[in-house]
A and B are shown apart, each in its own frame.
Chain A
């Protein structure tokens, strides 16, 4: 069974902390994505990566960075967490040239 896993289901951090959200996929997919989901706003793309060490900004990259050192792992980094980054974060992966994205279960991040 194909799988995308995320490091935490729930996370609570304080304003100003550096936060790492980890995503791992076991499908040998080239593409990986980070979204955030907020009530009334739907899912919005933060960053995506189409290869190791490659990254592209999505619709809302401000305040975030990403890292992809290995094909199976894509990390989202909040350099200095703020309360407006409280959200559900979803990771996804897909084969290159394929629009079928497989999503992880999500991490609900609360920044106090």
Chain B
């Protein structure tokens, strides 16, 4: 059973902010929200993660709603190189690792 729901595809104009939504209405208290992306023909790449507070790093920002049932990944100034499939994953620590279940993700196309 999928723990997250994402739109299958989105477009974004180059230079604009890309806002990728994710619903995770059944998230448990100890589950983190992780975002990865996969550029064509490459392995997935970690972007960011959070528990309940908003997070920002050099790649993106993660906004998690107060009830933690949804989140948004923000790429502040999308470039053509950001065209990829973006995966939203919820996971808790189990046996020393976070097992990541990748769904179908959102295919983001950045348009020139």
* A residues in contact (CB < 8 Å) with B: 4, 30-31, 33, 35, 40, 42-45, 48, 50, 56, 58-59, 90, 92, 94, 96-106
On whether the beta carbons of A99 and B91 are closer than 8 Å, the reply is yes
B42 and A94 contact, CB distance less than 8 A: no
Given contacts A43-B102, A90-B43, contact A99 B96 (CB under 8 A): no
How many inter-chain residue pairs (CB < 8 Å) link A and B?
Answer: 63
- Is A96 touching B102 in the complex (CB atoms < 8 A)? no
Size category of the binding interface on chain B: 20 to 34
Say how far A26's CB is from chain B's closest CB, in angstroms: 15
List the one stretch of B20-28, B44-52, B76-84 in contact with chain A.
Answer: B44-52
State the CA gap A99–B95 with chains docked (Å): 12
Shortest beta-carbon distance, B30 to chain A, in Å?
Answer: 12
In the complex with contacts A42-B102, A42-B104, A104-B43 CB distance below 8 A: yes
Flag if A30 contacts B96 (CB, 8 Å): yes
Docked-complex contact A31 and B97, CB < 8 angstroms: yes
A101 touches B96 (CB 8 A): no
For the complex, give the distance between the alpha carbons of A43 and B45 in Å. 13
Report if A50-B43 is in contact (Cβ < 8 Å); known contacts: A42-B102, A42-B103, A100-B49: no
Interface residues of B in 57-112 (CB under 8 A from A): 87, 91, 93, 95-105
Assembled-state Cα–Cα distance A56/B93 (Å): 15
Residues of chain B with a CB closer than 8 A to A50's CB: 95-97
Contact A106 B96 (CB under 8 A): no
